[in-house]
């Protein structure tokens, strides 16, 4: 699977770019926000990509930011929503605004995007509200970690991920695990450096078993 491409922008079209990677031109569809952020001076860029394979077609979708990619992939899991609609949503709204609209069941904001009717918007909020809310908790973990030194930030984020994985192995959903890990990390780092895995895991588990 092609998960990332680094190259220079050869040209842009309607909703896509041609990315020159080692002399090979990859056609990559992108949201407008990504396209507008790309340099036009031949500077190398890296895009995170999602490959969709069909019987008669291979299509690449590219994003400058990991959150854009994650939101795009979540939207694709909704029945009846394809990549064109997902790209249109991310062209009309930032990834954070789209996640917030879905998490808060803001159907009115979602239907402002062409191709998204009321039924589709309602289905998106029903199927994705918990998953989109979980993204917010994950970003809170990153924000908490970033208040310290870079080394502490990396340690906190990695620690939280380990705790979430351990909780998932016990049968908890990723949404619940993220919430518990974020809350426990916030509590434990309020008065000092990140705790070790055992302390944070027990704190998160206690929140889930109350």
Taking only the tens of pLDDT, the chain with its 210 residues reads 788 999 999 999 888 999 999 999 999 999 998 998 888 788 899 999 999 988 888 899 999 988 899 999 999 999 889 999 999 999 999 988 898 899 889 999 999 999 899 999 999 999 998 888 776 545 554 544 444 444 455 567 777 888 888 888 888 888 888 888 888 888 877 766 667 788 888 888 888 887
> Quick one: pLDDT at residue 173?
86
pLDDT of res. 141:
44
Residue 152: its pLDDT value, please? 52
Q: Does domain 66-135 have CATH number 1.20.1440.130?
A: no
Question: In this predicted structure, what is the pLDDT of residue 62?
Answer: 96
Is-contact 204 181, C-beta < 8 A?
yes
pTM: 0.65
Task: Place domain 4-63 in its CATH homologous superfamily.
Answer: Nucleic acid-binding proteins (2.40.50.140)
Q: Which residue has the tokens 């041609």?
A: 18
- What's residue 162's pLDDT? 83
pLDDT of 206 reads 87
DSSP assignment of the chain equals ---EEEEEEEEE-SSEEEEEETTEEEEEE--HHHHHHS-SSS--EEEEEEEEEETTEEEEEEESSHHHHHHHHHHHTSTT--HHHHHHHHHHS-HHHHHHHHHTT-HHHHTTSTT--HHHHHHHHHHHHHHHHHHHHHHHHHHHHTTS-HHHHHHHHHHHHHHHHHHHHTT--HHHHHHHHHHHHHHHHTTSSPP-HHHHHHHHHHHHH-
Q: Tokens in use for 110?
A: 């979602």
pLDDT at position 183: 85
- In the chain, what are the domain boundaries? 4-63, 66-135, 146-209
């Amino acid at each position: 699977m092609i998960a990332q491409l680094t190259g220079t922008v050869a040209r842009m079209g309607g909703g896509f770019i041609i990315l020159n990677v080692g002399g090979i031109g990859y056609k990559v569809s992108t949201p407008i926000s990504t396209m507008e952020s790309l340099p036009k001076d031949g500077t190398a860029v890296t895009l995170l990509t999602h490959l969709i394979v069909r019987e008669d077609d291979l299509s690449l979708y590219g994003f400058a930011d990991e959150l854009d990619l994650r939101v795009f992939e979540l939207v694709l899991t909704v029945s009846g929503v394809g990549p064109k609609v997902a790209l249109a949503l991310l062209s009309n709204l930032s990834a954070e605004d789209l996640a917030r609209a879905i998490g808060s069941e803001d159907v009115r904001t979602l239907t402002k995007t062409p191709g998204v009717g009321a039924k589709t918007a309602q289905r998106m909020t029903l199927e994705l509200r918990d998953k989109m809310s979980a993204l917010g908790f994950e970003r809170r973990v990153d924000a908490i970690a970033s208040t310290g030194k870079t080394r502490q930030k990396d340690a906190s984020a990695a620690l939280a991920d380990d705790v979430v994985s351990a909780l998932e192995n016990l049968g908890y959903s990723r949404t619940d695990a993220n919430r518990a890990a974020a809350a426990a990390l916030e509590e434990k780092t309020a008065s000092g450096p990140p705790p070790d895995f055992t302390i944070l895991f027990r704190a998160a588990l206690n929140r889930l078993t109350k």
